[in-house]
Amino acid sequence: MATARNPAELIRPLITPEGVDLRVKLADAGTRASAFLLDVVIIVAAAIAVTLVVIFGLGGLGVKEAEPLFIVWIIFIFLLRNVYFIAFEAGRRAATPGKRIVGVRVASRSGAGLTIDQVIARNLMREIEVFLPLSIIAARGGAGVADTLSTIFGLVWALLFSLFLLFNRDRLRIGDLLAGTWVVETPKLKLVEDLSLRKDPVARRFHFSPAQLDAYGIAELHKLEEVLRRDDYFAMKAVAETIGHKIGAKIEPIDSRTFLTAYYGDLRAHLERKLLLGNRKADKYAR
């Protein structure tokens, strides 16, 4: 059985048609199972809601008149569970609501865009892998003709296909193998803190003249931001002393971080005002 206790073992190269090597991380079996169960819950909830509406809307029909509608209902359930997966995975995000909740999406192993043929192929195989044997078991049970042998056969069939992804290192279902797809993790981008919005009451006592702010440009602003985000005491002390010496401001060691925060906010605002006036300064030497 293929295992991936080390997360790095799930990293794969994904080469785009332009030759760009995009490193992707494959979704593990637990994540894929969670996404699938969430989607099944959504599908079942939708099926129950539609069924209740139909029952209450056609409550006056007899059993004989309702038989054609029962066939229509079976077809509807078949379309619902297949259209659901195909429609969402063919969309721009290439993910069903369940996949989006757990943070994964479908990708083509070729590195090109996911095609509708691949989406249909991988999802129709799910019908054979899981839904078809379970539907037969449910139908035979509902009709009162289920037997132990056929039930065990159906369960083993569904279980073997469901566990197939545990036995290959790329965590592929049969549907993925046929369609040439992967299910990969979608990195969740987290916006970093906007340093200019820091509320430091002590920093308000620092005021910088336009001449002091003109001493540095955009490149220095970015370096200063790196120092603040790193939050290293000695680095901030050294940078604060350098800036203070250059602009003629005396900095107490204990105020280094506060001073840099104040200078960063004012310098950024100063540069942004210049940009609005059409006087962008790439660095302190630009004219």
CA distance 24 to 114: 15
* 278 Rama class: left (phi>0) / alpha (psi -120 to 50) / beta: left
| Burial classification of residue 35, based on how many CB atoms lie within 10 Å of its CB (0-12 exposed, 13-18 middle, 19 or more buried) | buried
- Residue pair 142/152 in contact (Cβ under 8 Å)? The answer is no
Q: Which residue has the higher pLDDT, 16 or 94?
A: 94
The confidence band for 67, taking pLDDT boundaries of 50, 70 and 90, is: confident
2 Cβ neighbours under 8 A, 6+ residues apart? 166, 167, 168, 169, 171
- Give pLDDT, residue 233: 82
pLDDT value at residue 39:
95
Predicted local distance difference test score (pLDDT) of residue 10? 83
pLDDT at residue 254 above 80?
no
Q: Which is more confidently placed, 8 or 278?
A: 8
**Could you state, in order of their start, the residue ranges of all structural domains in the chain?**
9-183, 188-275
Q: What's the confidence (pLDDT) of residue 19?
A: 64
Q: Report whether pLDDT(104) > 60.
A: yes
Lowest mean pLDDT among 102-106, 204-208, 218-222, 238-242: 204-208
* Cα 123-169-36 angle, rounded to 5 deg: 35
Q: Which pLDDT belongs to residue 85?
A: 94
Please say whether the beta carbons of 31 and 100 come within 8 A.
no
What's the pLDDT score for residue 32? 92
pLDDT confidence of residue 179: 93
Q: Which of 31-35, 116-120, 138-142, 195-199 has the lowest mean pLDDT?
A: 195-199
Residues in the chain: 287
What pLDDT sits at residue 120? 93
Q: For helices 233-247 and 218-230, give the axis angle rounded to 10 degrees.
A: 150
Phi and psi torsions of 180, nearest 5°: 75, 45
Cα–Cα distance list, 66 to 54, 72, 269 (Å): 11, 10, 71
pLDDT reported for residue 215: 86
pLDDT at position 122 = 93
**What is the C-alpha separation between 3 and 95, in angstroms, rounded?**
25
Q: Residue 75 forms beta bridges with which residues?
A: none
pLDDT in tens, 32-60: 999 999 999 999 999 898 888 877 776 66
User: Which residues are bridge partners to 12 per DSSP?
Assistant: 24
Q: What is the per-residue pLDDT across 159-211, written as a single tens digit (0 to 9) for each?
A: 888 888 888 888 899 999 999 999 999 866 555 566 666 666 666 677 888 88
Tell me the mean pLDDT in the region 13-25: 72
Residue percentage of the chain with pLDDT more than 70: 80
Provide the pLDDT for residue 116. 93
What is d(CA 241, CA 56) in angstroms, rounded to the nearest whole number? 78
pLDDT recorded at residue 176: 93
Look up the pTM and report it. Answer: 0.61
Q: What is the pLDDT of residue 63?
A: 64
Mean pLDDT value across residues 2-28: 72
